[in-house]
Structures are given as C-alpha cells and as structure tokens.
Chain A
Amino acid sequence: QAQLVQSGSEVKKPGSSVKVSCKSSGGAFSSYSFSWVRQAPGQGLEWMGGIIPISGTTNYAQNFQGRVTITADTSTSTAYMELSGLRSEDTAVYYCARGPKLGDHNFWYFDLWGRGTLVTVSS
C-alpha cells in the first residue's frame, strides 16, 4: 500500500530554516509529482510548491518564491521541503502530497497525503 512518511515535528527560532522530508513507498517515485501544502492553525490549505522527480522540474507558489526550496532524492524515494527566513506566521502543519501521472501527463491534484509535520516558529 502506497504511503508517504514525513519527518517529525520541529520547533524553530525566527529567522532560521527548516527542512522537512517525505519518504514515498509503494509506487514509482520518479514518475509522480510531489507537492507541499501547509495549513496554519484554524486555516485552510495552501499549496507551496512541487517537484517532478524524474525531470527535477519544480514549481513554486508566488507567496513562497525565494523562501522555499523543494528537492527530491530518487535513490531514497524522498522529497524535501526547506523553508527559510522563518517567522511566527509560518507556524503550521506541512503536508507532503502526491500527484498522479496518467499516461505522459503529471496532474497536480493530490491522491495521497502524508500525515503532516508540525513546524512551530517561536522565540
């Protein structure tokens, strides 16, 4: 059964960076897309960016351009999200989510989600 296993909770100081991992199992890692979606306390879902590991193609939401870096290691089937310049408003649950590939086309909806990683930014 396919699953995405994310790294554990983090507590960070303002101005620092955090790197969250997402290990995929049960599927052809390189062919899918992997995105990061965050949810601040009591708020909705916000797409941050994504990657297609087979090509290394990345896309980022405008709100996070310059602050987020998404990478993937095909040898370990793991995707990563690094967010820099942390501020209190970045306190949120960060989800890894997989997008399907149908034929030759990658689709950017999310049929599989990790359990989320809580990142708390506090001085």
Chain B
Amino acid sequence: DIQMTQSPSSLSASVGDRVTITCRASQDIINYLAWYQQKPGQVPNFLIYAASSLQPGVPSRFSGSGSGTDFTLTINSLQPEDVATYYCQKYNSALPTFGQGTRVEIK
C-alpha cells in the first residue's frame, strides 16, 4: 500500500506569512493528489486536485505543486480564516489514502 506522509504535523505562522506544507508518497503517484482543508468543527473542504488545479471558488493564495512522490501546498499570505487542518490524499487507484494532516495556527 502507498503511504502518504505530511510534514510538519503542525505549524504556527503570522498573518501574511507564506506557509508550505509537504506531502510525500511512498511510491510514484504521478499527479493524482488532492488537498483538503478542514476548519475546526467543520466538514472537509476540497481545495486542489491533480496536484495543482485549484477548485473553483478557492482563494488564489492557495496553490499546489509537485509530481511523482513529492508535493506541496502553499498558502501565500496566511489569513486568520486559514486556521485549519490540511490533508493531502492520493487517488492514483480506487484505494485512496489520506495523509495524517497538518494543523495550521496563527502565531
């Protein structure tokens, strides 16, 4: 089974900072990677698919990159409403797997 590992597990940054979250797959998943945001007490919100394609309605300060085994989610200019846990998820097969999540807080 392909494992998805996110780093860091949590981070604290100031409003306006650039934040980068890394997701590593244990095998090549090409670009079959999605990202989700889950705010406290809320349902997961779909952000990005195909590693870098932004879902309509997602603020442009969010971006994704990477291919193969290494991927990143970047938040340019962190905002208070971005406090959440972020999950990557691989979907290169019909057995999707999530990363363990990265909690983002405001310093």
Contacts and interface: CB of A to CB of B under 8 A. Distances in A.
Interface residues of A, number: 23
27 contacts: A37-B98, A44-B98, A44-B99, A44-B101, A45-B36, A45-B98, A46-B98, A47-B89, A47-B95, A47-B96, A50-B94, A50-B96, A95-B43, A95-B44, A107-B49, A108-B93, A108-B94, A108-B95, A109-B34, A109-B46, A110-B34, A110-B46, A112-B46, A113-B43, A113-B44, A115-B43, A116-B43
Interface residues of B, number: 23
A44 B96 contact: no
Nearest to B6: A44
Contacts of B45: 113
Interface of B: 1, 34, 36, 38, 43-46, 49, 55, 85, 87, 89, 91, 93-101
